[in-house]
Chain A
Amino acid sequence: MTKETEYAIEVERLTKRYGELLAVNDISFTVRKGEVFAFLGVNGAGKTTTVEIIETIRTLTSGKVSLLGMDVTKRKRDIVTRIGVLPQGFNSFDRITVRETIQYYSRLFSCRNTDVDGLIELVDLKEKTKEQFKDLSGGLKQRLGIAVALVNDPEVVFLDEPTTGLDPRARREVWEVLLGLRKKGKTVFLTTHYMEEAELLADRVAIIAKGKIIAMDSPVQLIEDNANYMVLTLRSVEERASEIIRKIGFEPIHDNHSNIKIRLEHTDDVQKVLNAIKEGGTSFLGLDVRKPNLEEVFLKLTGETLHEDPAGERGAE
């Protein structure tokens, strides 16, 4: 029997082992209906394993996972009809066209009312309906994958690394589609290692590292709680400016482009630094002051930087 609940997903003390390897270590979280929830972590952190357990593809070692009130270990057949999945690096039958691919997946769900044209329009593939899958670029394949994930009008949509390997333009196009899903009120479970993506799309973010959830909240709150400071960036600054900044008690961080970043606790500190540089007789070409982003929060919490996996790169438009 299906339990009525406000949560689309409930994960309780989930653990997954592969022999000696502990891939997911006793994690718990919930995802509300209509929420866009992002799972953030580096490659190998346990994101895909967790999402595949919820999608019923993988078995769990211990714990309890419910999807729309149904136990994922017992109700696979009922669950798959109510979810849509975009797996990491979506692939399909090479010689089947865009339209045929959507029709095929629609038939697998025995959906008679799938609005194939509507889905094609949603992912902006109208010009490509007769193209075979093998001829599509990476970005177009991902967009088709999203359309396929929606053929059964699912209540929960899982998107595993939907923009990995795409160029910035293709990535933004996919984001447009995801924002459309959000507007439609779908529950979206997104796994990503792109901070910008999580920050832009997610209502809540869970940061996972080494199989453990180490922080979970809205992007704004995560930043507020974990990075209550400002970052002053001075562009094309003279080298001796570092010495001056150190003298007034701040630690400058150099990047590869003669820029200096300084972490500041108070707004008054900005003026203090700028005055010191002016008095020291050094110059710079520009500056900006901003709040830290999720990337800095992630760095602070995990000690790891997020970067794109070159192996995951695919062609883009």
Chain B
Amino acid sequence: MNLHVVVANLVVSIKSFYRDKTVVFFRIAFPVILILVFGTIFMERDNEIFNLDVQDLDQTTSSAQLVKTIGLSGRFKITQVAPAVNAAQYAKDKKRNLVLIIPKGFEESLMHRMGLDDPNAFVTLTEIHDPSSFGVTTKMQVLNMVLAGINQKMSGKPPFIKSAETSILTKKYRFIEFFVPGIIAMAVMTSSLFGAVNVNAELLQKGVIRKLSTTPITRTDWILSNVLYQFILAVLSTIVMLLVSYGVFKVSLVINAWLLVFVALDVFAFVGLGMILTRVAKEAESAAAAADALMFPMMFLSGTFFPVEMMPEFLQKFAKVLPLYYVNEGLRASMVSVDNTAALRYAAVIGIFAAVVFVLGIMITTLSEEAT
């Protein structure tokens, strides 16, 4: 190995990178945008306040008190709908996914129940909803929970069954804290795989590799500089992602040596895979298509965007043969649950995969005749 040569390659790669604004965008800005978009969506869901339109047909002190109590739950921002309006038409016209109707006679029924202690006196609140609207089910579930709480309080007796939540984690974590490690793993995978495939296939096709084969550069120098370059980009991209996550979402993630270990293993595994694809596919276009075919199942089935446990059982089994799953889980074990044993286990699996793929990549990569 010649350090001069490795450094020369590294310098050329880094210059080529920062002079190509499109590449900079996709490598650095794109994962950040993903974090910002998904982080914002799911951040709001953690403490979401829903808009609720209420039509009070009773117009009494009791019905007004009910509306106030629903508002005081802190889960709804109330908009009053005039009694004369057709609630269903209103929902359609104003594009509201849920309108709660308090019927006429609400106070009267309440008096029967409270004053005369009549157990058969009850009132039905109508929930006019749009079932095609995303999130209306959650909104109705939250409303029904609030109404159940009001019912319970009105009974004047404390609930018999109570529940207490105990997290297996030391702190309370939000969705974003589970999401960021997944995005780091995915971004490093994407840039390593595509970086290796695109750069090598393009240079091969343009004959640059052939020219390099008439210089003293060796296969080891070439591959090592490729890996170092991808590792530098991966570290840079990870730092930016973490800074944005801390700055915007005030995430609570543990940064330790495991982060660097998993980023490095991610790079080695997917640069190795990229080198194999480049060699097997030969044409730049077919290599990129093969990389796409490998990458998409991994992005969606390895637990990057949603937990693997949400998938059907056969897909959960499939997820466990995908290398990205082990990077995702390893990063979460180290950054979220701070479980060193689990992190070590995941690191061992991805480490073996990386070693096999990388050695294979080195073995089949050539800078001479067969590269043409």
Contacts and interface: CB of A to CB of B under 8 A. Distances in A.
A57 B369 contact: yes
Contacts of A107: 4-5, 7-8
B206 A91 contact: yes
Contacts of A81: 216
Contact of A91 (B8, B11, B20, B211): B211
B12 A85 contact: no
A77 B216 contact: yes
B368 interface: yes
A56 B8 contact: no
Interface in A41-94: 52, 55-59, 77, 80-81, 83, 85, 87-94
A104 interface: yes
B216 A80 contact: yes
Interface residues of A, number: 30
A56 B368 contact: yes
A94 B16 CA distance: 8
A108 B216 CA distance: 6
Contacts of B12: 93, 96, 100, 104
A108 B208 CA distance: 14
A88 B210 CA distance: 10
Contact of A93 (B2, B208, B210, B215): B208
B19 A58 contact: no
B: interface residue count bin: 20 to 34
A93 B16 contact: yes
Interface in A85-130: 85, 87-96, 100, 104-105, 107-110
B110 interface: no
Contacts of A242: none
B16 A91 contact: no
5 contacts: A52-B369, A93-B203, A107-B8, A108-B8, A108-B216
B214 interface: yes
Contacts of B20: 95
A89 B15 CA distance: 23
Nearest to B13: A93
B372 interface: yes
A108 B217 contact: yes
Contacts of A89: 207
Contact of B214 (A87, A88, A92, A104): A87
B207 A57 contact: no
A85 B15 contact: no
Contacts of A55: 214
Interface in B36-63: none
A220 B352 CA distance: 66
A91 B207 contact: yes
A302 interface: no
B337 interface: no
Interface string B351-372: 0000000000000000011001
Contacts of B203: 93
Nearest to B221: A108
A87 B217 contact: no
A162 to B, nearest CB: 14
Given A57-B368, A87-B207, 7 more contacts: A55-B214, A57-B210, A58-B372, A77-B216, A80-B216, A90-B207, A93-B16
A226 interface: no
7 smallest beta-carbon distances between A and B, as pairs? A107-B8, A85-B214, A95-B19, A91-B206, A58-B369, A108-B215, A95-B16
Interface string B204-247: 00111011111111000000000000000000000000000000
Contacts of B369: 52, 57-59
Contacts of B15: 95-96, 100
A132 interface: yes
